[in-house]
Amino acid sequence: MKILVANIGSTSLKWRLFDFSNNAERLLHKGGFERVSDYPKAIEDCLAELKQANAIQSETELSAVGFKTVIAKDITGCVRFDERVLQAMADYNGLAPAHNPPYITGIKLFAQRMPGVPLIGLFETAFHQFAPEAVQRYAVPEAWRQIGVRRWGFHGASHKFMAERSAELLCRADVAERARQLYVNHGTTPISREPLRVISCHLGGSTSITGILNGVSIGTSMGMSPQSGLPQNNRVGDLDAEALPYAVKTLGITVEEAQRQLTREGGLKGLSGLSNDIRDIGEAALQGNPQAKLALETYVASARHWLGSYFLQLNGTDAIVFTAGIGENRADMRAAICANLENLGIKLDPVKNQGTRAVEAIISSADSQVKIFVIPTNEELVVAREAKRFLETK
Protein backbone atom coordinates (compact mmCIF):
# COMPACT_ATOMS: atom_id res chain seq x y z
CA MET A 1 0.00 0.00 0.00
CA LYS A 2 1.57 3.28 -1.14
CA ILE A 3 0.48 6.54 0.46
CA LEU A 4 1.69 9.94 -0.67
CA VAL A 5 1.64 12.72 1.93
CA ALA A 6 1.50 16.20 0.43
CA ASN A 7 2.52 19.20 2.50
CA ILE A 8 0.95 22.25 0.92
CA GLY A 9 2.09 25.81 1.57
CA SER A 10 0.96 28.95 -0.19
CA THR A 11 4.02 28.78 -2.47
CA SER A 12 5.45 25.33 -1.75
CA LEU A 13 4.68 21.67 -2.30
CA LYS A 14 6.59 19.04 -0.35
CA TRP A 15 5.89 15.33 -0.29
CA ARG A 16 6.85 11.99 1.16
CA LEU A 17 5.80 8.66 -0.30
CA PHE A 18 5.44 5.71 2.09
CA ASP A 19 5.06 2.04 1.29
CA PHE A 20 3.31 -0.10 3.90
CA SER A 21 3.62 -3.41 2.03
CA ASN A 22 4.57 -6.57 3.95
CA ASN A 23 3.84 -5.00 7.35
CA ALA A 24 6.77 -2.60 6.93
CA GLU A 25 6.92 1.20 6.86
CA ARG A 26 9.25 2.37 4.14
CA LEU A 27 9.93 5.90 2.97
CA LEU A 28 10.15 5.48 -0.80
CA HIS A 29 10.69 9.08 -1.82
CA LYS A 30 10.70 12.62 -0.54
CA GLY A 31 11.01 15.89 -2.33
CA GLY A 32 9.55 19.31 -2.79
CA PHE A 33 9.37 22.58 -4.64
CA GLU A 34 9.61 26.12 -3.25
CA ARG A 35 8.38 29.30 -4.91
CA VAL A 36 5.55 27.48 -6.68
CA SER A 37 3.42 29.77 -8.85
CA ASP A 38 1.68 27.11 -10.97
CA TYR A 39 0.24 24.51 -8.61
CA PRO A 40 -1.19 22.08 -11.22
CA LYS A 41 2.29 21.99 -12.79
CA ALA A 42 3.88 21.37 -9.37
CA ILE A 43 1.61 18.34 -8.86
CA GLU A 44 2.50 17.11 -12.35
CA ASP A 45 6.21 17.57 -11.62
CA CYS A 46 5.85 15.74 -8.29
CA LEU A 47 4.29 12.73 -10.06
CA ALA A 48 7.01 12.89 -12.73
CA GLU A 49 9.71 12.79 -10.04
CA LEU A 50 8.05 9.82 -8.34
CA LYS A 51 7.93 7.96 -11.66
CA GLN A 52 11.48 8.89 -12.56
CA ALA A 53 12.68 7.55 -9.22
CA ASN A 54 10.74 4.34 -9.90
CA ALA A 55 8.76 4.90 -6.70
CA ILE A 56 5.53 4.52 -8.72
CA GLN A 57 4.82 3.61 -12.33
CA SER A 58 1.44 5.38 -12.32
CA GLU A 59 -0.60 7.45 -9.88
CA THR A 60 -3.20 4.66 -9.88
CA GLU A 61 -0.76 2.81 -7.59
CA LEU A 62 -1.42 5.37 -4.84
CA SER A 63 -3.86 4.02 -2.26
CA ALA A 64 -4.36 7.56 -0.92
CA VAL A 65 -2.93 11.04 -0.73
CA GLY A 66 -2.75 12.27 2.86
CA PHE A 67 -2.70 15.89 4.04
CA LYS A 68 -1.69 17.40 7.40
CA THR A 69 -4.58 19.84 7.45
CA VAL A 70 -4.89 22.38 10.25
CA ILE A 71 -8.45 23.11 11.36
CA ALA A 72 -12.07 22.82 10.22
CA LYS A 73 -15.37 23.88 11.79
CA ASP A 74 -16.90 21.00 13.80
CA ILE A 75 -14.58 18.42 12.21
CA THR A 76 -11.37 16.87 13.52
CA GLY A 77 -9.56 13.54 13.41
CA CYS A 78 -8.84 11.67 10.19
CA VAL A 79 -11.37 12.24 7.41
CA ARG A 80 -11.82 11.79 3.68
CA PHE A 81 -12.18 15.08 1.83
CA ASP A 82 -15.48 15.96 0.22
CA GLU A 83 -17.35 19.23 -0.31
CA ARG A 84 -18.58 19.26 3.30
CA VAL A 85 -15.08 18.94 4.78
CA LEU A 86 -13.62 21.54 2.42
CA GLN A 87 -16.44 23.95 3.33
CA ALA A 88 -15.77 23.33 7.04
CA MET A 89 -12.12 24.25 6.44
CA ALA A 90 -13.15 27.38 4.52
CA ASP A 91 -15.40 28.35 7.46
CA TYR A 92 -12.24 28.60 9.60
CA ASN A 93 -9.99 30.26 7.01
CA GLY A 94 -9.80 33.22 9.36
CA LEU A 95 -8.20 31.08 12.09
CA ALA A 96 -5.46 29.67 9.86
CA PRO A 97 -5.11 32.15 6.99
CA ALA A 98 -1.64 30.90 6.02
CA HIS A 99 -2.69 27.25 5.94
CA ASN A 100 -6.36 26.61 5.17
CA PRO A 101 -6.75 28.51 1.85
CA PRO A 102 -3.70 26.89 0.16
CA TYR A 103 -4.74 23.45 1.44
CA ILE A 104 -8.27 23.86 0.07
CA THR A 105 -6.93 24.93 -3.32
CA GLY A 106 -4.32 22.15 -3.37
CA ILE A 107 -6.74 19.40 -2.34
CA LYS A 108 -9.16 20.44 -5.11
CA LEU A 109 -6.33 20.27 -7.63
CA PHE A 110 -5.30 16.80 -6.44
CA ALA A 111 -8.96 15.73 -6.72
CA GLN A 112 -9.09 16.94 -10.33
CA ARG A 113 -5.78 15.32 -11.23
CA MET A 114 -6.48 11.91 -9.64
CA PRO A 115 -10.24 11.53 -9.14
CA GLY A 116 -9.95 7.81 -8.28
CA VAL A 117 -7.49 8.25 -5.40
CA PRO A 118 -8.93 8.86 -1.90
CA LEU A 119 -7.74 12.17 -0.43
CA ILE A 120 -7.50 11.93 3.36
CA GLY A 121 -6.69 14.58 5.95
CA LEU A 122 -5.46 14.33 9.51
CA PHE A 123 -6.33 17.57 11.29
CA GLU A 124 -3.69 19.12 13.55
CA THR A 125 -6.35 19.66 16.21
CA ALA A 126 -7.05 15.91 16.48
CA PHE A 127 -4.44 15.01 19.08
CA HIS A 128 -5.79 17.53 21.59
CA GLN A 129 -9.48 16.66 21.32
CA PHE A 130 -9.45 14.40 24.38
CA ALA A 131 -7.88 16.96 26.74
CA PRO A 132 -10.10 17.84 29.71
CA GLU A 133 -12.92 20.27 28.88
CA ALA A 134 -11.62 22.74 31.47
CA VAL A 135 -8.35 23.28 29.58
CA GLN A 136 -10.16 23.60 26.25
CA ARG A 137 -12.23 26.54 27.46
CA TYR A 138 -11.70 30.27 27.35
CA ALA A 139 -13.74 32.21 29.89
CA VAL A 140 -15.95 33.78 27.20
CA PRO A 141 -19.73 34.21 27.04
CA GLU A 142 -21.63 31.17 25.75
CA ALA A 143 -22.38 32.76 22.36
CA TRP A 144 -18.63 33.09 21.74
CA ARG A 145 -18.01 29.45 22.63
CA GLN A 146 -20.77 28.39 20.25
CA ILE A 147 -19.03 30.06 17.31
CA GLY A 148 -15.82 28.17 18.09
CA VAL A 149 -13.97 30.50 20.46
CA ARG A 150 -12.13 27.87 22.49
CA ARG A 151 -8.71 26.30 22.68
CA TRP A 152 -8.13 23.81 19.88
CA GLY A 153 -4.39 23.17 19.88
CA PHE A 154 -2.20 22.33 16.87
CA HIS A 155 0.93 20.39 15.82
CA GLY A 156 -1.11 17.29 16.61
CA ALA A 157 0.78 14.98 14.24
CA SER A 158 4.13 15.97 15.73
CA HIS A 159 3.03 15.68 19.36
CA LYS A 160 1.42 12.32 18.59
CA PHE A 161 4.70 11.11 17.13
CA MET A 162 6.47 12.28 20.31
CA ALA A 163 3.88 10.47 22.48
CA GLU A 164 4.48 7.17 20.68
CA ARG A 165 8.22 7.41 20.22
CA SER A 166 9.02 8.64 23.75
CA ALA A 167 6.96 5.75 25.17
CA GLU A 168 8.97 3.31 23.04
CA LEU A 169 12.25 4.85 24.20
CA LEU A 170 11.08 4.56 27.81
CA CYS A 171 10.24 0.88 27.22
CA ARG A 172 6.54 1.49 27.68
CA ALA A 173 4.99 -0.56 24.87
CA ASP A 174 1.61 -0.26 26.64
CA VAL A 175 1.61 3.55 26.42
CA ALA A 176 2.95 3.53 22.86
CA GLU A 177 0.06 1.27 21.92
CA ARG A 178 -2.45 3.60 23.62
CA ALA A 179 -1.02 6.54 21.65
CA ARG A 180 -1.19 4.49 18.42
CA GLN A 181 -4.85 3.61 19.02
CA LEU A 182 -5.85 7.11 20.11
CA TYR A 183 -8.15 7.93 17.22
CA VAL A 184 -9.76 4.49 17.35
CA ASN A 185 -10.78 4.31 20.98
CA HIS A 186 -10.16 7.82 22.32
CA GLY A 187 -7.30 6.95 24.65
CA THR A 188 -8.92 4.06 26.50
CA THR A 189 -6.43 1.30 25.59
CA PRO A 190 -5.47 -0.11 28.99
CA ILE A 191 -1.99 0.51 30.31
CA SER A 192 -0.28 -2.04 32.48
CA ARG A 193 1.94 0.03 34.78
CA GLU A 194 2.23 3.40 36.51
CA PRO A 195 1.23 6.54 34.56
CA LEU A 196 3.73 7.87 32.00
CA ARG A 197 4.17 11.66 31.90
CA VAL A 198 5.84 13.42 28.99
CA ILE A 199 6.21 17.06 27.98
CA SER A 200 6.64 17.49 24.23
CA CYS A 201 8.37 20.68 23.05
CA HIS A 202 7.83 21.26 19.32
CA LEU A 203 10.12 24.26 18.83
CA GLY A 204 10.32 25.39 15.21
CA GLY A 205 9.23 28.24 12.98
CA SER A 206 5.93 27.47 14.64
CA THR A 207 6.16 26.36 18.26
CA SER A 208 4.00 24.60 20.83
CA ILE A 209 4.45 22.66 24.07
CA THR A 210 2.09 19.84 25.08
CA GLY A 211 1.56 17.85 28.26
CA ILE A 212 1.01 14.14 27.55
CA LEU A 213 -0.32 11.63 30.08
CA ASN A 214 -0.27 7.98 29.01
CA GLY A 215 0.00 8.93 25.36
CA VAL A 216 -2.89 11.43 25.42
CA SER A 217 -2.69 15.25 25.31
CA ILE A 218 -3.79 16.93 28.54
CA GLY A 219 -3.36 20.44 27.12
CA THR A 220 -1.18 22.46 24.80
CA SER A 221 0.17 25.98 24.55
CA MET A 222 -1.58 26.89 21.31
CA GLY A 223 -5.18 27.90 21.70
CA MET A 224 -7.85 28.90 19.19
CA SER A 225 -5.39 29.57 16.37
CA PRO A 226 -1.72 28.86 15.62
CA GLN A 227 -1.30 32.55 16.51
CA SER A 228 -1.01 31.78 20.22
CA GLY A 229 1.09 30.27 22.98
CA LEU A 230 4.84 30.88 22.69
CA PRO A 231 6.21 33.56 20.34
CA GLN A 232 6.43 32.02 16.85
CA ASN A 233 8.94 32.96 14.15
CA ASN A 234 6.92 36.01 13.05
CA ARG A 235 3.62 35.47 14.86
CA VAL A 236 3.02 37.09 18.20
CA GLY A 237 1.90 34.16 20.34
CA ASP A 238 -0.22 34.89 23.41
CA LEU A 239 -1.40 38.48 23.70
CA ASP A 240 -3.84 40.21 26.04
CA ALA A 241 -7.17 40.59 24.20
CA GLU A 242 -7.19 44.32 25.00
CA ALA A 243 -3.91 44.88 23.14
CA LEU A 244 -5.52 44.62 19.70
CA PRO A 245 -8.24 47.30 20.07
CA TYR A 246 -5.77 49.49 22.00
CA ALA A 247 -3.16 49.32 19.21
CA VAL A 248 -5.79 49.85 16.50
CA LYS A 249 -7.01 53.04 18.18
CA THR A 250 -3.66 54.36 19.33
CA LEU A 251 -1.67 53.63 16.17
CA GLY A 252 -4.61 54.59 13.93
CA ILE A 253 -4.43 51.35 11.94
CA THR A 254 -7.17 49.00 10.76
CA VAL A 255 -7.91 45.67 12.43
CA GLU A 256 -6.66 43.92 9.27
CA GLU A 257 -3.37 45.83 9.37
CA ALA A 258 -2.98 45.04 13.07
CA GLN A 259 -3.55 41.36 12.30
CA ARG A 260 -1.03 41.50 9.48
CA GLN A 261 1.56 43.03 11.78
CA LEU A 262 0.90 40.49 14.51
CA THR A 263 1.23 37.56 12.10
CA ARG A 264 4.04 38.83 9.86
CA GLU A 265 6.02 41.20 12.03
CA GLY A 266 5.56 39.81 15.51
CA GLY A 267 7.17 36.86 17.24
CA LEU A 268 10.95 36.47 17.11
CA LYS A 269 11.05 38.90 14.21
CA GLY A 270 9.23 41.60 16.15
CA LEU A 271 11.25 41.02 19.29
CA SER A 272 14.64 40.99 17.56
CA GLY A 273 13.87 43.63 14.94
CA LEU A 274 16.17 41.53 12.75
CA SER A 275 14.92 38.23 11.46
CA ASN A 276 12.39 35.48 12.07
CA ASP A 277 15.14 32.85 11.93
CA ILE A 278 16.79 31.86 15.18
CA ARG A 279 20.09 31.24 13.37
CA ASP A 280 20.35 34.95 12.49
CA ILE A 281 19.16 36.00 15.94
CA GLY A 282 21.63 33.65 17.63
CA GLU A 283 24.49 35.07 15.57
CA ALA A 284 23.50 38.64 16.41
CA ALA A 285 23.17 37.77 20.11
CA LEU A 286 26.71 36.35 20.05
CA GLN A 287 27.89 39.66 18.59
CA GLY A 288 26.28 41.39 21.57
CA ASN A 289 23.09 42.71 19.96
CA PRO A 290 20.82 43.43 22.98
CA GLN A 291 17.51 43.08 21.09
CA ALA A 292 18.58 39.70 19.73
CA LYS A 293 19.55 38.56 23.24
CA LEU A 294 16.21 39.72 24.58
CA ALA A 295 14.34 37.89 21.80
CA LEU A 296 16.03 34.62 22.77
CA GLU A 297 15.41 35.24 26.47
CA THR A 298 11.72 35.98 25.85
CA TYR A 299 11.35 32.77 23.85
CA VAL A 300 13.07 30.77 26.60
CA ALA A 301 10.97 32.41 29.33
CA SER A 302 7.79 31.50 27.49
CA ALA A 303 8.98 27.91 26.92
CA ARG A 304 9.72 27.58 30.64
CA HIS A 305 6.32 29.02 31.49
CA TRP A 306 4.58 26.24 29.54
CA LEU A 307 7.02 23.56 30.64
CA GLY A 308 6.28 24.53 34.23
CA SER A 309 2.56 24.47 33.61
CA TYR A 310 2.60 20.87 32.37
CA PHE A 311 5.15 19.80 34.97
CA LEU A 312 2.60 20.87 37.58
CA GLN A 313 -0.46 19.43 35.82
CA LEU A 314 1.29 16.10 35.32
CA ASN A 315 2.55 16.02 38.91
CA GLY A 316 6.13 15.95 37.59
CA THR A 317 7.31 14.39 34.37
CA ASP A 318 9.17 11.27 33.27
CA ALA A 319 10.53 12.85 30.10
CA ILE A 320 10.94 16.11 28.23
CA VAL A 321 11.18 15.81 24.46
CA PHE A 322 12.63 18.41 22.09
CA THR A 323 11.72 18.38 18.42
CA ALA A 324 11.36 20.52 15.22
CA GLY A 325 13.92 22.94 13.74
CA ILE A 326 14.94 24.68 16.96
CA GLY A 327 14.35 21.74 19.31
CA GLU A 328 16.38 19.35 17.14
CA ASN A 329 19.22 21.70 16.20
CA ARG A 330 19.77 24.29 18.90
CA ALA A 331 21.69 22.95 21.89
CA ASP A 332 21.93 26.50 23.29
CA MET A 333 18.13 26.87 23.42
CA ARG A 334 17.66 23.43 24.98
CA ALA A 335 20.28 24.31 27.61
CA ALA A 336 18.63 27.65 28.40
CA ILE A 337 15.18 26.05 28.71
CA CYS A 338 16.49 23.32 31.04
CA ALA A 339 18.79 25.56 33.10
CA ASN A 340 18.59 25.51 36.92
CA LEU A 341 15.93 22.84 37.18
CA GLU A 342 18.02 20.34 39.18
CA ASN A 343 15.62 20.70 42.12
CA LEU A 344 12.89 19.32 39.84
CA GLY A 345 15.09 16.38 38.83
CA ILE A 346 15.79 17.86 35.38
CA LYS A 347 19.47 17.81 34.45
CA LEU A 348 20.99 18.03 30.98
CA ASP A 349 24.31 16.41 30.13
CA PRO A 350 26.10 19.40 28.55
CA VAL A 351 28.35 17.27 26.35
CA LYS A 352 25.57 15.05 25.03
CA ASN A 353 23.39 18.12 24.49
CA GLN A 354 26.10 19.97 22.58
CA GLY A 355 26.83 16.95 20.42
CA THR A 356 23.22 16.31 19.40
CA ARG A 357 21.88 17.78 16.19
CA ALA A 358 18.91 16.49 14.21
CA VAL A 359 19.29 12.93 15.47
CA GLU A 360 17.43 10.91 18.06
CA ALA A 361 19.36 10.99 21.34
CA ILE A 362 19.07 11.08 25.10
CA ILE A 363 20.67 14.27 26.37
CA SER A 364 19.95 14.14 30.11
CA SER A 365 22.71 13.30 32.56
CA ALA A 366 22.88 9.80 34.01
CA ASP A 367 21.63 11.08 37.41
CA SER A 368 18.72 13.13 36.00
CA GLN A 369 15.38 11.80 37.28
CA VAL A 370 13.71 13.19 34.16
CA LYS A 371 14.89 11.80 30.82
CA ILE A 372 15.49 14.48 28.20
CA PHE A 373 15.27 13.40 24.56
CA VAL A 374 15.79 14.88 21.14
CA ILE A 375 13.46 13.13 18.70
CA PRO A 376 13.34 14.29 15.07
CA THR A 377 9.68 14.70 14.22
CA ASN A 378 7.99 12.70 11.46
CA GLU A 379 4.60 14.28 10.97
CA GLU A 380 4.14 12.86 7.49
CA LEU A 381 4.53 9.31 8.79
CA VAL A 382 1.78 9.95 11.35
CA VAL A 383 -0.52 11.22 8.57
CA ALA A 384 0.30 8.22 6.36
CA ARG A 385 -0.31 5.76 9.21
CA GLU A 386 -3.70 7.29 9.99
CA ALA A 387 -4.65 7.39 6.29
CA LYS A 388 -3.75 3.69 6.06
CA ARG A 389 -5.88 2.88 9.07
CA PHE A 390 -8.72 4.95 7.62
CA LEU A 391 -8.61 2.94 4.39
CA GLU A 392 -8.51 -0.34 6.28
CA THR A 393 -11.38 0.42 8.64
CA LYS A 394 -13.82 2.50 6.62
Write out the residues near ligand AMP by the rule CB under 6 A. 204-206, 233, 277-279, 324-326, 329-330
**Which is closer to ligand AMP, CB of 187 or CB of 226?**
226
CB of 207 to ligand AMP, least distance (A): 8
Whole-number Cα distances in Å, 2 to 26, 43, 68, 357: 9, 17, 17, 30
Cα separation of 369 and 311, whole Å?
13
**Which is closer to ligand AMP, CB of 69 or CB of 377?**
377
CB of 138 to ligand AMP, least distance (A): 26
**Which is closer to ligand AMP, CB of 187 or CB of 229?**
229
CB of 198 to ligand AMP, least distance (A): 19
List, in sequence order, the alpha helices (H) in the chain: 39-52, 83-91, 100-113, 133-136, 142-146, 156-169, 173-180, 182-185, 243-251, 255-264, 267-272, 278-286, 290-313, 324-329, 331-337, 350-354, 379-393
**Which is closer to ligand AMP, CB of 55 or CB of 71?**
71
Residue nearest to ligand AMP (CB): 325
CB of 385 to ligand AMP, least distance (A): 20
CB of 208 to ligand AMP, least distance (A): 11
Q: Are 16 and 66 in contact (CB under 8 A)?
A: no
**Which is closer to ligand AMP, CB of 125 or CB of 234?**
234
For residue 189, is it left (φ>0), alpha (ψ between -120 and 50) or beta?
beta
Burial class (CB in 10 A: 0-12, 13-18, 19+), 57: exposed
